[in-house]
């Protein structure tokens, strides 16, 4: 099952979540109170901008809406939107760090 390690922007200890079925990263964040901030939840604001430090292959591909905003945010090439990313079912570690406000 994918294990997801969330790092917020501060110095708090990372949060770990198990996501046996995969699914919306947003729902997983809500479930475990991950230290990732959200606002619009619809690929409009960039608040949930994250960097995927490990396990990017365990996320579904970026769709057009997410890609449009990521282009505007001009972040690192491994960045995603936590409100849009979908976790694939399977094994492995996804390590995420918050970039947004
Ligand atoms: S919460 Fe606004 S883009 Fe994700």
Query: Where in the sequence is the domain holding 57, given as residue range(s)?
Result: 2-98
Could you please report the per-residue DSSP string of 54-98? E-GGGBPPP-HHHHHHHHHHT--TTEEETTT-EEPSSSEEEEEEE
**HSE value, Cβ hemisphere, 13 Å, CA-based, for 14:** 12
CATH (domain of 90)? 3.10.20.30
- Per-residue confidence (pLDDT) for residue 11, from 0 to 100: 82
Q: How does pLDDT run across 33-50, given as a tens digit for each residue? A: 999 999 999 999 999 999
Q: Could you give the number of structural domains in the chain? A: 1
Residue count of the chain = 101
Task: Please state the pTM of the whole predicted model.
Answer: 0.94
Q: 42 CA distance to ligand 1 centroid (A)?
A: 5
- Per-residue confidence (pLDDT) for residue 32, from 0 to 100: 93
Q: How does pLDDT run across 53-66, given as a tens digit for each residue? A: 999 999 999 999 99
Tell me the three state secondary structure of residue 19.
coil
* Ligand 1 neighbourhood includes 43 CB (under 6 angstroms): yes
């Amino acid at each position: 099952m994918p294990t997801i390690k969330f790092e917020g922007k501060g110095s708090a200890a990372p949060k770990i979540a198990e996501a046996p079925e995969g699914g919306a990263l947003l729902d997983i964040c809500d479930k475990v109170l991950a230290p990732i901030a959200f606002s619009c939840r619809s690929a409009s604001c960039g608040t949930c901008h994250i960097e995927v430090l490990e396990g990017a292959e365990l996320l579904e591909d970026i769709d057009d809406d997410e890609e449009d905003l990521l282009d505007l945010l001009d972040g690192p090439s491994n960045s995603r939107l936590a409100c849009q990313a979908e976790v694939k079912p399977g094994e492995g570690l996804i390590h995420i760090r918050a970039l947004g406000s």
